[in-house]
Each structure stands twice: as structure tokens, then as C-alpha cells.
């Protein structure tokens, strides 16, 4: 998600075109391709939807958008239930899961678990909203080594290693289909910025800011190449996992 604390940093158009967010969209499509029935309609549920950019991609831009039957975005920070300006009746952003909503076969929780003290309890709760065979896409920030004031500013409790995510998913009864570090190319940049150049200081604001168009294109290209290369990276600034409810 784009955290609501960061929402004022970018316009909606800037947000959905930001290299970091666009790279994560690639993994939404990857998760959809792991659904057991590729002709089945999709009931999507996103926890921690923030400003809704992932559901925008899912319902407006994804090659699988025609299969979306419903899309609910859940975020307790939302003030009121709303249909976003780009949405339709099948898209709703709400504070909690509606009692009448169908169980989802696609669940998104992108940079959410780190905000929750009891991450195991949260994942178990989310599992109750998934159909058997349903797929969940989870992303979290990687490596406690990269912990900085940015994490404190956003209300994070922790950062994760890949093995932490895999163990958590398995403990909650999920089958881990895919789990890897992403943004491996950005790891040295973030490490130097936060640990050597002094960006680990109170008073600094969000990282999600407008990027020069050339850099934005270059960073997205780096993320897409990483996505296409089938290799396990030893480092990264995020962990992405695709897990299945059996």
C-alpha cells in the first residue's frame, strides 16, 4: 500500500506511475496466475489498501481486469466507506470487511504486516476471508539491518527476512508457493543512505516522493528485469510472498 501518512507526497497519477508501486503491480499479476482456475472470476480483498492504488491497477490496468467480480479495500484509517473516483459498484474502500461480502479468492496485503504487532494473529484472521485454494500476496520490508526513522515514522514494528515470512505463513497453515527478496538492486543505495549518509534521523519524512522521470523509468526497468530473472537474491529491501490456503 501507499501508507496514508505518505498520501500527501504524491498525486494519485504520480502514485500509480511511481517506479516502486509499478514494480509491485507486476507481482499482483503473478499472484493471479497462481490461482487454481484461470477462467474463474476473481473476488479480491485488500487489507491495508491505503489510497487504493493496487485495486486501481487490478480493476483498471491489469490484463486480468475483466475477471474481477468484486474488489474490497480495507483500511481502518479510512474515514468513510467510499467508491473511489476511478471505481465502479464492484469497488469499495471501507474500514472493515463487510459482513455480506463473499469470501475472496485473491487477497492482497502489501506492506501491512509490519504495521501489526501480532502479525501471526493478523494472518490467521485474513485466512478466514479466503476461499480454499485462494491466493494471498504479501509484501513486507526486508532486513532489520535497514531499520531507520522511516520505519518509526510509518509505525512499523519490524522488518523481515525471507525465512521469517515463510515460517509465519507455514505456521498459519498456508502453502508457500513463491517467496523472494525484491529490489535487490536498491539494497546498497538504501543501506548507504540510511546508515552512512545519516538518513536514519528523526524529523525526516516519507520516502515515497516524486522521482525525476528519467530515474523513475530507470528504476522501474531495474525492477522489471529483476522480476523477469528467475534467481533467488540474497538481499533486497522487500520480501514478496505468494501463499495458498489449502
Q: Where are the domains of the chain?
A: 7-245
Residues comprising the chain, all counted: 246
Angle between helices 119-127 and 162-171 (to 10 degrees): 50
Cell numbers describing residue 86: 476511478
* Distances, alpha carbon 24 to alpha carbons 17, 76, 146, in Å: 11, 22, 20
Q: How far apart are CA 142 and CA 199, in angstroms?
A: 17
Whether 5 shows a pLDDT value over 70: the answer reads: no
Single out the residue of 27, 61, 20, 26 nearest to residue 177, CA to CA.
27
pLDDT at 204: 52
Distance in angstroms (rounded) separating the CA atoms of residues 182 and 238: 5
**Residues 40, 62: contact at Cβ < 8 Å?**
no
DSSP 67: G
pLDDT tens per residue across span 200-245: 555 555 567 889 999 999 999 999 999 999 888 999 999 999 999 9
State the cell numbers at 127: 485466512
> Which is nearest to 84 in space by CA: 113, 58, 112, 110?
58
Extended beta strands in the chain, E state: 42-47, 68-74, 91-94, 104-110, 130-141, 174-182, 238-245
Burial class of residue 213, CB neighbours in 10 A (0-12, 13-18, 19+)? exposed
pLDDT at residue 3 greater than cutoff 70: no
84-90 long-range contacts, CB within 8 A, separation 24+: 84/52, 84/55, 84/56, 86/56, 86/60, 87/52, 87/55, 87/56, 87/59, 88/59, 90/59
pLDDT, tens only, 101-123:
779 999 999 999 999 999 999 99
Structure confidence by residue, pLDDT tens digits, 177-186:
999 999 999 9
Q: Among candidates 27, 19, 14, which has minimal Cα distance to 217?
A: 19
Residue 201 CB coordination number (10 Å): 10
| pLDDT value at residue 205 | 52
Per-residue pLDDT tens over the stretch 32-84: 999 998 889 999 999 999 889 999 999 999 999 999 999 999 998 887 777 88
Contact yes or no for 150/207 (Cβ under 8 A): yes
CA distances from 8 to 3, 51, 172 (A): 10, 10, 35
pLDDT at 9 over 60: yes
Q: Give, in words, the CATH class of 7-245.
A: alpha beta
**Integer angstrom CA distances of residue 25 from 45, 57, 162, 196:** 15, 7, 20, 31
Amino acid at each position: 500500500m501507499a501508507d496514508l501518512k505518505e498520501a500527501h507526497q504524491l498525486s494519485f497519477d504520480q502514485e500509480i506511475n511511481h517506479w516502486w508501486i509499478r514494480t509491485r503491480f507486476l507481482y499482483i499479476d503473478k499472484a493471479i496466475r497462481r490461482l487454481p482456475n484461470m477462467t474463474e472470476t476473481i473476488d479480491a480483498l485488500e487489507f491495508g489498501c491505503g489510497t487504493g492504488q493496487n485495486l486501481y491497477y487490478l480493476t483498471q490496468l491489469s490484463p486480468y481486469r475483466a475477471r474481477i467480480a468484486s474488489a474490497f479495500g480495507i483500511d481502518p484509517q479510512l474515514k468513510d466507506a467510499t467508491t473511489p473516483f476511478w471505481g465502479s459498484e464492484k469497488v469499495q474502500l471501507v474500514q472493515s470487511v463487510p459482513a455480506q461480502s463473499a469470501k475472496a479468492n485473491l487477497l492482497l496485503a502489501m506492506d501491512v504486516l509490519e504495521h501489526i504487532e501480532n502479525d501471526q494473529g493478523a494472518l490467521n484472521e485474513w485466512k478466514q476471508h479466503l476461499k480454499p485454494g485462494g491466493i494471498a500476496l504479501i509484501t513486507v520490508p526486508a532486513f532489520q539491518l535497514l531499520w531507520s526513522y522511516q520505519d518509526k515514522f510509518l509505525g512499523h514494528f519490524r522488518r523481515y527476512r525471507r525465512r521469517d515470512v515463510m515460517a509465519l505463513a507455514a505456521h498459519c497453515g498456508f502453502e508457500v508457493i513463491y517467496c523472494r527478496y525484491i529490489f535487490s538492486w536498491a539494497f546498497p543505495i538504501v543501506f548507504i543512505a540510511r546508515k552512512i549518509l545519516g538518513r536514519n534521523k528523526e524529523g525526516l519524512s516519507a520516502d515515497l516522493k516524486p522521482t525525476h522521470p528519467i530515474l523513475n523509468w530507470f528504476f522501474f526497468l531495474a525492477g522489471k528485469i529483476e522480476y523477469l530473472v528467475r534467481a533467488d537474491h540474497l538481499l533486497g529491501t522487500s520480501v514478496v510472498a505468494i501463499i495458498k490456503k489449502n
